[in-house]
């Protein structure tokens, strides 16, 4: 029997190093005892690591590393051995990573998915309470993750709350940010974290305002916001009352629906939408098909209007149709659209539940021989086309609107913004919806460096995943 001793339950580098050594030495998966520093030591005798056979160097597909980095954070004690078994098989047959029916790959995939979900829950359900310490205001949160995700999630909180001083306490590990340095300390207990404070009152008011009784789906709510997180969520204290009053409030909403204000808040979104929304949307699309508000219609095949369910909680806005969209008459069906589909799938967002549209609805391009080369729309074109976008938003009242890239962000926010400075945090829009700005998928198609591309893609997936969770939670 061989032994691998890892520095911690999330020690991917340690696992990788040991796994590589054992695999090069031809060791079977059943021949290794994986231990984590601090665990009870095994009483079995161990052999010295084997020498590499025939040099032994090998490489595995990037997809394996991606899945292994997540799966290693699972609390399943078998994860190290399962990953090692998969590593050995993938080394001998790299195509295995494509075989979604393979039981071992499926099992490891399920571990990775559970971890990603947990990472997400932490991002969505951590709630800070403000306390005073010797350095001034500090925001402290208590969270109980299912898996060993705290260290892996730290970067997200550092980026999101870079200018705050904060601590996240968990049973296994606590992380602290002082505005410059991230530090760790041993696990804590719930009683180490402060209870409610005024920040919570504001949050509760916000939650009560966005809670929509007409869209109450208790089962979906429980699956997205499991009861175990409720005790740490200030707004969860409101849920029983809000649910109990939902029917009455829904009746009140229906009774008041014929007189919507011009720009209602998120809370009365459904009441504000016309009852004949499908007819209104079709009429709007028909008008847009004949649009001559700017010269772009002259060279385009057709207007490419938005598409998707009219009650979609989430709207995505792109820049403008490309060559293929112009011919097909549908948004995001070309290369950027196909990439977007893959990214959405990874982020566990069903495109069929999204309304997808563009800031500019005609294809702006320049002809070079037979090719039509994309040209970025300019401010007058974006402004002219806001006529349609504003009406789509007014009609559909999505809860969350995501601008993909600078043109979409400019159209949505009516000002020029930098993606890097604007992304990562929600913006309250005039419509009452929550706005997000992120990259356009075609940016990923242009990044030349593979490592950076993978990094940017992962960040994009995570952003969309978080937005998807929020959309489900509030719709």
Letters for 265-304 (x = contact with ligand URA by CB under 6 A, - = none) are ----------------------------------------
In this chain, which of 319, 381, 434, 463 binds ligand URA, going by CB under 6 A?
Answer: 319
Of 194, 178, 55, 67, the C-alpha closest to 128 is: 194
Largest CA distance in the chain: 81
Toward ligand URA, which CB reaches closer, 145 or 441? 441
Toward ligand URA, which CB reaches closer, 313 or 322? 322
Which run of H or of E encompasses 417? none
Residue 119 has φ and ψ, to the nearest 5°, of -60, -40
Q: Distance between CA atoms of 346 and 340, rounded to whole angstroms?
A: 10
Toward ligand URA, which CB reaches closer, 70 or 320? 320
Break the chain down into helix, strand, coil percent, rounded to 5: 50, 15, 35
Task: Say if residues 467 and 314 touch (Cβ distance below 8 Å).
Answer: yes
Question: Counting contacts by CB under 6 A, is residue 321 touching ligand URA?
Answer: yes
Instruction: Tell me which residue has its CB nearest to ligand URA.
Output: 318
Q: Distance between CA atoms of 307 and 122, rounded to whole angstroms?
A: 32
Going across the sheet that includes 314-318, the strands are 354-358, 314-318, 400-404, 434-438, 427-428
What b/e readout covers 41-71, taking b as 16+ CB neighbours within 10 angstroms? eeeeeeeebeeeeeeeeeebeeebeebbbbb
Toward ligand URA, which CB reaches closer, 423 or 440? 440
The residues, ordered by sequence, that sit 6+ positions from 426 with a Cβ below 8 Å of its Cβ are 434, 435, 436, 470
Letters for 416-445 (x = contact with ligand URA by CB under 6 A, - = none) are ------------------------x-x---
In this chain, which of 9, 306, 313, 331 binds ligand URA, going by CB under 6 A?
Answer: 331
Q: Distance between CA atoms of 257 and 246, rounded to whole angstroms?
A: 16
Question: Counting contacts by CB under 6 A, is residue 80 touching ligand URA?
Answer: no
Task: Say if residues 56 and 24 touch (Cβ distance below 8 Å).
Answer: yes
- From the CB of 157, what's the least distance to ligand URA, in Å? 31
Toward ligand URA, which CB reaches closer, 303 or 320? 320
Of 93, 6, 30, the C-alpha closest to 58 is: 93
Question: Counting contacts by CB under 6 A, is residue 326 touching ligand URA?
Answer: no
Point out which span in 160-168, 173-181, 256-264, 332-340 binds ligand URA (CB under 6 A).
332-340
In this chain, which of 145, 337, 377, 432 binds ligand URA, going by CB under 6 A?
Answer: 337
- From the CB of 404, what's the least distance to ligand URA, in Å? 6
Of 385, 410, 400, the C-alpha closest to 434 is: 400
Total of residues contacting ligand URA (CB under 6 A): 14
Question: Counting contacts by CB under 6 A, is residue 306 touching ligand URA?
Answer: no
User: Of how many residues is the chain composed?
Assistant: 475
In this chain, which of 320, 431, 438, 475 binds ligand URA, going by CB under 6 A?
Answer: 320
Toward ligand URA, which CB reaches closer, 146 or 341? 341
Point out which span in 57-65, 145-153, 319-327, 392-400 binds ligand URA (CB under 6 A).
319-327
Toward ligand URA, which CB reaches closer, 166 or 355? 355
- Where does 187-305 show beta strands of DSSP type E? none
Question: Counting contacts by CB under 6 A, is residue 167 touching ligand URA?
Answer: no
In this chain, which of 167, 358, 431, 438 binds ligand URA, going by CB under 6 A?
Answer: 358
- From the CB of 379, what's the least distance to ligand URA, in Å? 17
Task: Say if residues 232 and 142 touch (Cβ distance below 8 Å).
Answer: yes
- From the CB of 429, what's the least distance to ligand URA, in Å? 19
Q: Distance between CA atoms of 377 and 361, rounded to whole angstroms?
A: 10
Point out which span in 70-78, 227-235, 327-335, 411-419 binds ligand URA (CB under 6 A).
327-335
- From the CB of 412, what's the least distance to ligand URA, in Å? 13
Residues in contact with ligand URA by the rule CB under 6 A = 318-322, 325, 331-332, 334, 336-337, 358, 440, 442
């Amino acid at each position: 029997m061989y032994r691998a001793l890892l520095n911690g339950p999330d020690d991917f580098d340690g696992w990788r190093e040991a796994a590589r050594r054992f695999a090069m030495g031809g060791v079977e998966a059943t021949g290794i005892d994986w231990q984590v520093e601090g665990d009870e030591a095994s009483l079995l005798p161990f052999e010295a690591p084997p020498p590499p056979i025939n040099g032994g160097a090998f490489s595995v597909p990037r997809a394996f590393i991606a899945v292994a980095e997540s799966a290693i954070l699972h609390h399943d004690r078998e994860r190290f051995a399962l990953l090692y078994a998969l590593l050995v098989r993938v080394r001998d047959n790299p195509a295995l990573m494509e075989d979604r029916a393979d039981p071992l790959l499926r099992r490891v995939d399920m571990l990775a998915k559970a971890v990603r979900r947990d990472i997400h829950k932490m991002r969505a359900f951590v709630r800070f309470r403000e306390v005073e310490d010797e350095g001034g205001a500090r925001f402290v949160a208590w969270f109980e993750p299912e898996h060993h995700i705290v260290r892996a999630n730290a970067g997200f909180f550092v980026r999101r709350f870079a200018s705050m001083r904060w601590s996240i306490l968990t049973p296994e590990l606590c992380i602290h940010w002082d505005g410059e340095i991230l530090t760790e300390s041993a696990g804590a207990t719930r009683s180490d974290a402060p209870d409610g404070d005024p920040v919570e009152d504001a949050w509760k008011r916000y939650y009560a305002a966005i809670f929509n009784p007409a869209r109450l789906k208790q089962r979906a709510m429980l699956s997205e916001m499991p009861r175990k997180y409720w005790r740490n969520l200030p707004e969860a204290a409101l849920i029983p009352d809000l649910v109990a009053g939902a029917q009455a409030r829904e009746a009140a909403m229906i009774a008041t629906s014929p007189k919507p204000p011009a720009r209602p808040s998120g809370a009365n979104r459904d009441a504000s939408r016309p009852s004949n929304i499908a007819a209104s949307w079709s009429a709007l699309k028909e008008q847009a098909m004949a649009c001559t508000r700017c010269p772009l219609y002259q060279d385009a095949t057709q207007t490419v209007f938005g598409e998707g369910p009219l009650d979609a909680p989430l709207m995505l806005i792109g820049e403008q149709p490309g060559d293929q969209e112009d011919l097909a008459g549908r948004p995001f069906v070309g290369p950027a659209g196909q990439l977007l589909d893959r990214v959405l799938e990874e982020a566990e967002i069903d495109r069929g539940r999204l309304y997808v549209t563009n800031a500019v609805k005609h294809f702006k391009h320049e002809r070079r021989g037979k090719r039509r080369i994309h040209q970025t729309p300019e401010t007058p074109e974006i402004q002219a086309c806001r006529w349609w976008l504003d009406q789509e938003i007014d009609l559909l009242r999505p809860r969350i609107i995501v601008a993909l890239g600078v043109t979409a962000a400019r159209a949505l926010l009516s000002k020029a913004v930098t993606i890097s400075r604007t992304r990562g945090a929600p913006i309250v829009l005039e419509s009452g919806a929550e706005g997000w700005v992120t990259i356009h998928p075609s940016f990923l198609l242009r990044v030349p460096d593979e490592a950076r591309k993978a990094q940017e893609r992962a960040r994009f997936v995570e952003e969309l995943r978080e937005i998807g969770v929020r959309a489900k939670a509030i719709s």
